[in-house]
Amino acid sequence: MKTEIRSLNNTGLATFSSWLEDPSGRAPIQILNDVAFTEAVDGGYMVDLSRTFATSYHFGEYLAMEVFPSDVDRFSLLANAGMWSWLSLAFINSLLKKGGVGAGKPLAKPHYILQSPRLAYRLIGRTAWDLVNLHGEAAKIALGSLRSPWGEMAEQMTARQEIYAHRSFWPVANALYSAPNGIPKRGATSQRTTKARQDPRNQAGLGGVRRLPLTFKQFERTYNLRKMTDEQILALLPKEYQRWLAS
């Protein structure tokens, strides 16, 4: 059964926020269609509240392919913070920790409620829709984790504005760091430590996703990467990246 998307008002946001701070009981999904906690959203967008999603990529794919039309005003939709919080609550069971310590509990509040423009990229539903809308299947590298709705790869690839919407960056990152099952390869998000830099034989962090934005920035002084294919860019990459293509 489909339900029309609404927006959490200040009362609804406060109710959801309180549960996120102390998720000892069930999420307050009873407020989703209550006019005391929500407001109407222009567009008449409908969602199936019975749907569940194994990954944030699948959630974003559903929103991009089945909920919001391709010609929707992107910036107007991104700006509707209350609507994204409503969607966070509506699909909260797909957006909780998947395993380990705290399994079944929510992540930090900015992943569900917009708390500041600086942290808008961490709002899972909003960013999942936007990335699939911008990059298609290449967005899976950031959103395809089966272990968490927001893994370290998502953080690294969305926190930097210069690569967030870079249409050439995402296919290259996907080719380098995506395993055959779509999840990030082990070690792809590792940081190059001081100890590793002092040992020429230590490859930890080399060619990882933390270094790729810098490589792109250096290349863009000479090449127009936005007009090149991912194959052309991959052929230009320094030797440190080759091990990721071979793995």
Q: What pLDDT digit, counting tens, does each position of 3-62 carry?
A: 999 999 999 999 999 999 999 899 999 999 999 999 999 999 999 999 999 999 999 999
pLDDT mean over 211-233: 94
Return the amino acid letter for 21: E
Q: SS3 of 156, please?
A: helix
Q: Which of 7-16, 113-122, 129-138, 176-185 has the lowest mean pLDDT?
A: 176-185
pLDDT at 200 over 70: no
pLDDT at 214 over 60: yes
Residues 179 and 136 in one domain: no
DSSP letter for 30, please. G
Q: What is the CA radius of gyration of the chain?
A: 19
When divided into structural domains, the chain yields a total of 2
Q: pTM of the predicted model, to two decimals? A: 0.91
Q: What is the pLDDT of residue 247?
A: 74
Residues 5 and 111 in one domain: yes
Under 8 Å between Cβ of 176 and 232: no
pLDDT mean over 128-155: 94
Q: What is the pLDDT of residue 49?
A: 97
Q: What is the pLDDT of residue 246?
A: 78
Asked if the structure places residue 199 within a domain, the reply is: yes
Q: Which domain holds residue 39?
A: 1-140
Under 8 Å between Cβ of 190 and 204: yes
Q: How wide is the angle at C-alpha 189 spanned by C-alphas 186 and 194, nearest 5°?
A: 110
Q: What is the pLDDT of residue 204?
A: 56
